[in-house]
Amino acid sequence: MDNKNENVSILGFAGSLRKDSYNKMLLTAAQELSPENVKIEIFDLEGIPLFNQDLESKPNDKIKIFKEKIKAADGLLIVTPEYNYSVPGVLKNAIDAASRPKSANPFEEKPTGIMGASIGMIGTARAQYHLRQTMVFLNSYIMNRPEIMVTFAEGKFDQAGRLTDEVTRQKVKEFIVALLQWIIKFK
């Protein structure tokens, strides 16, 4: 099929509020390394408040925009750090906030890829499998493979935050192409 050249829009977000987050850098690298027909828009989670169900009928503007962008995208790219052997509270909270109320879950049937970077040797594997379980409930279609778990991230990005490790750059390229095909499968 020729549809690898179809235009596809992806909303990407990284689960960290830290300025020099390796996960933000990894997301930027994915954006840069995407083929021409794939456009990754990056959404910053800063400004999404802690979720309180009492207020779920009056979400703030940031949440409203987040939900609309998720709904509008052809697919998602979630880049997760690992905190305390699981998904960071910041990322889980953003997903919780966007998922409510249940009747307006924007993740429904959304093809999604997951990656992550860490300074340790496990590279966010533990966080990624917890995140996959969350997305089962939300009925996103999470791509199984390839997986990207960037280990020892401190040696793979330069001072300016650019991904410099060639092996990882190649893997990110392949990941985005696989995600493109995964998204097209459900169109």
Neighbours of 181 (CB within 10 A): 15
Distance, CA of 83 to CA of 128 (rounded, Å): 11
According to the binding rule CB under 8 A, does residue 19 interact with its own copies? yes
- The residue within the footprint of its own copies, chosen from 7, 145, 155, 166 (CB under 8 A), is 145
According to the binding rule CB under 8 A, does residue 126 interact with its own copies? yes
Toward its own copies, which CB reaches closer, 77 or 114? 114
Window contacting its own copies (CB under 8 A); options: 36-44, 90-98, 155-163, 172-180: 90-98
Least separation, in Å, of the C-beta of 36 and its own copies? 27
Least separation, in Å, of the C-beta of 90 and its own copies? 5
Could you check whether the bond before residue 101 is cis, i.e. omega within 30 degrees of 0?
yes
Distance, CA of 95 to CA of 93 (rounded, Å): 5
Residues facing 10 on adjacent strands? 40, 75
State how far the alpha carbon of 110 is from the alpha carbons of 61, 63, 99, 147, in Å.
Answer: 22, 18, 12, 18
According to the binding rule CB under 8 A, does residue 87 interact with its own copies? yes
Contact footprint for its own copies (CB under 8 A): 16-19, 21, 49-54, 83-97, 99, 121-123, 125-126, 129-130, 132-141, 144-145, 149, 151, 185-186
